Amino acid sequence: MGVQEFKCPGCGAKLKWDAAEQKMKCDYCDNTYDIATLEEFEQEENSAPVEEYAWDPYNAPGEVTGLKTYICQSCGGAITVSDDSAATSCPYCDSPVVLNNNVTGMLQPDLIIPFTKTKEEAQNALRKFCKGKPLLPPTFVSEHRIEEIKGLYVPFWLYDCDAAGKMRFDATKVKKWSTDDFDYTRTEHYMVIREGEAGFADVPVNGSDKMEARYMEAIEPFDVSAGKHFQQAYLSGFLADKYNVDSVAAQPRANERVKNGMQELLRNTVVGYDTVNTKTTNMQLNTGKIRYAMLPVWVLSTNYRGKIYKFAMNAQTGKFVGELPVSWRKFWTIFAAISVGVGIIGTLLQLFM
């Protein structure tokens, strides 16, 4: 028969029975616990079930035919366009593209969100984004480059599911007071448990590894309720990326986003404590539905001195993100001017002191 040992929920050290307190006591953090509380704590630690994430397989509705597909010889991107569209460069790496007549249509999406922001609005957003950047190279943003901004439908997987979560937190309340001789600090530890259920609809995951996820998630959210039943006419005048990350490969990111969302919901209910640390987390996802969607984005990729800089704008809401190069010549010029100014001020202070 084994001997049961209890560890301190506060610091993890071994607990001993304190005859005076008639409780289990930790010699390291000086906390005391009754036996019933420790048994409840141990039972809770050993009761977490295995996390499960189950999705129904996606059933494709078929392909859209009669389209042209451009294959980028530099990055391998496959860009589909309608017959009345033309592409002069790859929206991802700014390289010339080659028309390949052997590639047929793309997978027909379950829904498509049409463009609502015009090309002019996207160009103005780019100009505004670059305005007032003192370290931006003067030749980086030219009108020629701004004209090259392209409208692109990016493939997305949308996941619907119900989630159940349970989290355990180590929370503390700290009270401090002083007397004439000593300063005192009293820390009370609490085991806080939160359980809940929530429904998640249209959790988006990028279906193309050519469009970096950090850009696409940065321009979220998209209003999926404004989506339309797919019609080929929506592609007229725009590009459409063909997905190369299928719904199965995209599921881990969907699981992660749902789990993060559920954790945030539960964590936000733990209030009134001075510190809160997450100890255990368990999530269960009920079988979810998957849909395939095309979402509108204005994209510009420009090659500047051997590096690709990208800009993206949500063509439904106008949210804009991008990265800019730094002119080191400008940087050192400004740095030198500041240094000279600081030197002059220091000399003047010495003269008048």
Per-state percent for the chain, helix, strand, coil, to nearest 5: 25, 40, 40
What's the pLDDT score for residue 275? 94
Q: State the SS3 of 304-334.
A: ECCEEEEEEEECCCCCEEECCCCCHHHHHHH
Residue 323 CB neighbour total at 10 angstroms: 10
Eight-state DSSP code of residue 4: P
Phi–psi pair at 186, nearest 5 degrees: -115, 120
What's the pLDDT score for residue 336? 55
Eight-state DSSP code of residue 117: S
**Within 13 Å and on the Cβ side, how many CA atoms surround 82?**
12
Q: What whole-number distance in Å separates Cα of residue 201 and Cα of residue 223? A: 11
Q: Where are the domains of the chain?
A: 1-47, 54-161+197-263+286-322
**Intra-chain end-to-end CA distance of the chain, in Å:** 84
What's the pLDDT score for residue 157? 96
What is the chain's pLDDT, residue by residue, as a tens digit (353 residues)?
455 677 787 677 888 887 777 888 888 877 788 888 777 777 776 666 667 677 878 887 777 776 777 777 777 777 777 665 555 567 777 776 655 554 456 788 999 999 999 999 999 988 888 777 666 766 666 655 777 888 999 999 999 999 999 999 999 999 999 998 899 998 888 889 999 999 999 999 999 988 888 889 999 999 999 999 998 888 888 888 888 899 999 999 999 999 999 999 999 999 999 999 998 899 888 878 899 999 999 998 877 777 777 889 999 999 999 877 665 454 455 545 555 545 444 544 444 44
- Return the biggest CA–CA distance within the chain: 88
Note the pTM of the prediction, 2 decimals.
0.75
Q: CB–CB of 263/281 below 8 Å?
A: yes
